[in-house]
Amino acid sequence: MTPAKRIAFIGNSLPRQCGIATFTSDLSQAMSEPVHHTTTSIIAINDDYQQYLYPDNVIFEIREGEVEDYVTAARILNEGRFDAVSLQHEFGIFGGPDGEFIITLLSQLRIPVVTTCHTILAEPTPSQHRVLQRVAAKSSRLVAMSEKGRGLLEEVYGVDPAKIDVIAHGIPDRAFHDPATAKEKRGYQGRSIILTFGLLSPNKGIEVVIDAMPAILKQSPEALYIVLGATHPNLLRQEGEAYRESLGARADHLGVGSSVVFLNRFVDQATLLDFIALCDVYVTPYLDEAQMTSGTLAYSFGMGSAVVSTPYWHALDLLKEGRGLLVPFGDAAATGKAIASLLGDDEARLAIRRHAYEAGRSMIWPYVAALYLKSIDKARSAYRPRLVSDLVALRIKQPPQRTGLKLGHFHTMCDDTGIFQHAVYSVPDRSHGYCVDDNARALLLASHLSAVGETGISDRMTASFAGFVEHAWNPDRGRFRNFMSYDRRWLEEQGSEDSHGRTLWALGACALSDSDAPRRRWAGALFARAMSATLDFSSPRAWAFTLLGLDDYCRAHPEDKRSRILRMRLAERLMDLERRVSKDGRHWFEEGLSYENARLSQALIMTGLATDTHEYLETGLKTLRWLMTQQTGESGQFRPVGTEGFLEVGQRPKLFDQQPVEATATVSACLSAYAGTADKSWFEAAMRSFNWFTGSNDHGISLVDPETGSCRDGLHPDRANENRGAESVLCYLISCAEIGRASRVERPVLQPADYRQLS
């Protein structure tokens, strides 16, 4: 494989003032040095309050809270012929809960991704755990900046150790320096300089050093503590300079105000390096152990500063073996003693400086850039194209050909109006016309494929499904019509509750994932108008379909408070049903079983994951487990609930007729459970359900035609139903798309025994 020539970065970028912006810009520059024969570009993340004058290599700006921008960025990267993407991951820089909008971008990329994990939490919230797991799953490789980080990725997040590279935070290549010379340049000669640098915020522990200054000054009266850096932009917006002023007042109260200097500005790299060069002791008194990386620590350490630090993770890694001094968190006495000891012992201070400088030679940017390029080469070698058409055949018995997702029969079933309901054998049956149910399913399929960059369904065809849904909306009733005759006459003023809910589901998916921005806005607007009707519904499946739509809609429109309220109300209705019905080891929502049963469980699983509500997730998993016991044959094959046995209370489901809609609902629910738990058994259950289409069923008959992508309408007691209507082909293709997306995960990121979120 030829080396990567074009690499795109995703992250903050200078002149935005933060450590990740500096890191992204520095690494991008180092990798674009002529020796590497590589060009780099940056997709910059903007916060919601600022605009920046970016350099020319920033090719697109993502507004943090606008999910559409993440979709657009993915399209730009896919079309830009980039060889790889370097993602800088930090929970706080991307939009959505714990930065989950970045998953929307990653889901649509068709390029290998190497993700640098700037924060790896040992005790994440369930949402943080889920987000980083998904980012890891969608990345070809991950970079941790320390062995501690590697360990956490393996132990807490279950990442395959073979997928992780450890690469230290990069630093500029500077000669070992004499602080006295640097002090003269800045006018600090004759002073012992203590330095802390970084964006000012309460978690930096500056007050601890201020409290230590009286003890330091007793031994070194000429000591000066310089706090270099602007106030953190978020803190500045919320409180102004109140925190900085409180630190100044604290120093004055202790009588050390003249020995503490605040330089309130964001400095460029050259200025920063000058200040690091002139300091005698560099201090990072951070208050939080869970600091995986510190660029300021890396810079000062690598330049050969004598460092005093609290034992946060990055400091523990760098300062071991006599390369610095560690003091307890928040301990002003210990901090003062350590700093004073170094200021009073030139020989000891010089020894620490030389030891640190020698260790830092492996952290200079040219060396770090070469390691990143090696990681990118490994990612490209292992990468397989992330198109659904390349993945749908994974582990499928009697699989369709691997030459692509076959849409021939699907196209046959469509005209300018939409998709026909039924077929006689493989011939469209015009006598039954159209329905919004199937056109909503077709729009849902188009959205699934668009989300991963698949282009098998044309924009014109997608527009016809959207047009059908738009025409189905009856504003006088506040409901969607369902059935339309072939001559385009509506046969009713409003459809069923279930068809309304299914249409909302498709609109939610379209609002998040459609490739056309105006159509995404149309879908969001129509969803907002139509969703309130579900509050008056009594159908549990209508509630479930709406919840599935809300899962996407709420990500696309997080500002819509009504949707969040509706989501919780509908979820609570399902929860109430389960509480009232479940008993004696039977965990379900109704006395009997009906159609698309697994959607009820799936709705709670996805809502629980999206809202971090463990009770919803647990109930969804519990009911799905019970349902699977009812849908498993004697030989272990998937056996969907037959239509002959709908709603029979207390009886095992009847065997026939078995229909594709049940298999697809179960595939989707099991994949949702897999996404939420990383329990491999759920993926295996999804595959067993999918294999029903291809012959692992009670008759051993494949229902699909691998050449055309058609799917028979189900299994009768003695044969397959040879008709191949819209619902069947759409169910099969939707399952192909969903299996394809889930199959990108190289392996489960956790083993079942490690799943602790429901304990």
CA distance 414 to 471: 17
pLDDT-based confidence at residue 284 (cuts at 50, 70, 90):
very high
pLDDT value, residue 751: 31
**Cα(first)–Cα(last) distance of the chain, in Å?**
46
Over 73-89, what HEC string results?
HHHHHHHCCCCEEEEEE
pLDDT greater at residue 385 or residue 413: 413
Q: Give Cα 139 to chain centroid, integer Å.
A: 10
Confidence bin at 27 (pLDDT 50/70/90): very high
Percentages of the chain per state (helix, strand, coil), in multiples of 5: 50, 15, 35
Structure tokens at 351: 């020894």
DSSP element (H, E) containing 26? helix 19-31
**Weakest-pLDDT range from 40-44, 127-131, 282-286, 677-681:** 677-681
The two domains 6-168 and 179-362 share their CATH topology (first three levels equal) = yes
Residue from 482, 480, 445, 483 nearest 461 by CA? 445
When comparing pLDDT for 677 and 635, which is higher?
677
**CA 697 from centre of chain:** 36
Question: For 201-210, 502-511, 645-654, 705-714, which range has the lowest pLDDT when averaged over its residues?
Answer: 645-654
3-state secondary structure of 213: helix
Q: For residue 307, what are its two tokens?
A: 């460092």
Q: Which amino acid is at 731?
A: C
E-only strand ranges, 162-229? 164-166, 192-197, 223-228
Pick the more confident residue, 398 or 386: 386
69-78: per-residue pLDDT in tens?
A: 898 899 899 8
Strands 479-480 and 473-474: antiparallel
Q: Which two tokens stand for residue 654?
A: 């009847």
**Residue 677 and residue 228: Cα distance in Å, rounded?**
45
> Above 90 in pLDDT, residue 120?
yes
DSSP-assigned beta bridge partners for residue 166:
144
% of residues, the chain, pLDDT over 70: 93
pLDDT of residue 406: 84
Q: 388-754, what's its fold? A: Glycosyltransferase (1.50.10)
Q: Contact 595/654 with Cβ under 8 angstroms? A: no
Residue 455 has a pLDDT of: 65
Whether the CB-CB separation of 206 and 285 falls below 8 Å is answered with: yes
Q: Given a cut of 60, is residue 388 above it in pLDDT?
A: no
| Banded model confidence at residue 644, pLDDT cuts 50, 70, 90 | low
HSE (CB half, 13 Å, CA atoms) of 563? 29
Which run of H or of E encompasses 428? strand 427-435
Range 52-62 average pLDDT: 93
pLDDT score for 25:
95
pLDDT of residue 648: 54
pLDDT for the residue numbered 384: 67
∠194-337-331 over CA atoms, to 5°?
A: 90
Query: Are 703 and 711 within 8 A, CB to CB?
Result: yes
Edge to edge, the sheet with strand 39-46 lists 58-63, 39-46, 6-11, 84-89, 113-117, 141-144, 164-166
DSSP letter (8 states) at residue 744: T
| Position 402 confidence tier, pLDDT thresholds 50, 70, 90 | very low
Give the mean pLDDT of the chain: 89
Question: What tokens does 304 get?
Answer: 């050969």
- Per-residue pLDDT tens for 160-175? 999 999 999 999 998 8
Q: How far apart are CA 281 and CA 349, in angstroms?
A: 8
pLDDT of the residue at 398 = 33
- Measured distance CA(352)–CA(693) in Å, rounded: 68
What is the domain partition of the chain in residue ranges? Answer: 6-168, 179-362, 388-754
Report which of 662, 576, 659, 579 is spatially closest to residue 627, judged by C-alpha positions. 662
Over range 512-525, report the average pLDDT.
Answer: 94
700-710 average pLDDT score: 87
Per-residue pLDDT, 403 = 36
Q: What number is the average pLDDT over the span 279-296?
A: 89
Distances (CA, A) of 441 to 80, 187, 338, 447, 502: 31, 72, 67, 10, 8
Position 31 scores a pLDDT of 96
Is the predicted pLDDT of residue 749 greater than 60, yes or no? no
Per the CB < 8 A criterion, the answer to whether 510 and 443 are in contact is yes
Any idea how long the chain is?
A: 759
Q: Find the mean pLDDT for residues 443-447.
A: 94
Other beta carbons within 10 angstroms of residue 278's beta carbon come to 24
Answer yes or no: is pLDDT of 494 > 90: yes
CA distance 140 to 160: 11
- pLDDT of 245: 93
Residue 646 confidence (pLDDT): 55
pLDDT of residue 389: 37
504, pLDDT greater than 60: yes
CA distance 225 to 171: 24
Q: What is the mean pLDDT of residues 707-731?
A: 92
Helix (H, G, I), strand (E, B) or coil at 224: strand
Give the Cα separation of 53 and 233 in Å (integer).
17
* % the chain with pLDDT above 90: 70
Closest CA to 313 of 298, 292, 328: 292
Q: How many CB atoms lie within 10 A of CB 401?
A: 9
C-alpha–C-alpha distance, residues 212 and 223, integer Å: 12
**CA 87, CA 99: separation in Å to the nearest integer?**
13
Q: At 44, is the secondary structure helix, strand, or coil?
A: strand
Token output for 24: 């992204």
Average pLDDT (71-89) is 92
Closest-CA residue to 692 (of 398, 394, 441): 398
For the chain, the C-alpha Rg in angstroms (whole number) is 30
Q: Over the stretch 565-576, which tens digit does the pLDDT of each residue have?
A: 999 999 999 999
- Ranking 34-48, 267-281, 709-723, 734-748 by mean pLDDT, the lowest is 734-748
Question: Who contacts 135 (Cβ-Cβ below 8 Å, separation ≥6)?
Answer: 87, 89, 102, 103, 106, 115
CATH architecture of 179-362: 3-Layer(aba) Sandwich (3.40)
| CATH architecture, domain 6-168 | 3-Layer(aba) Sandwich (3.40)
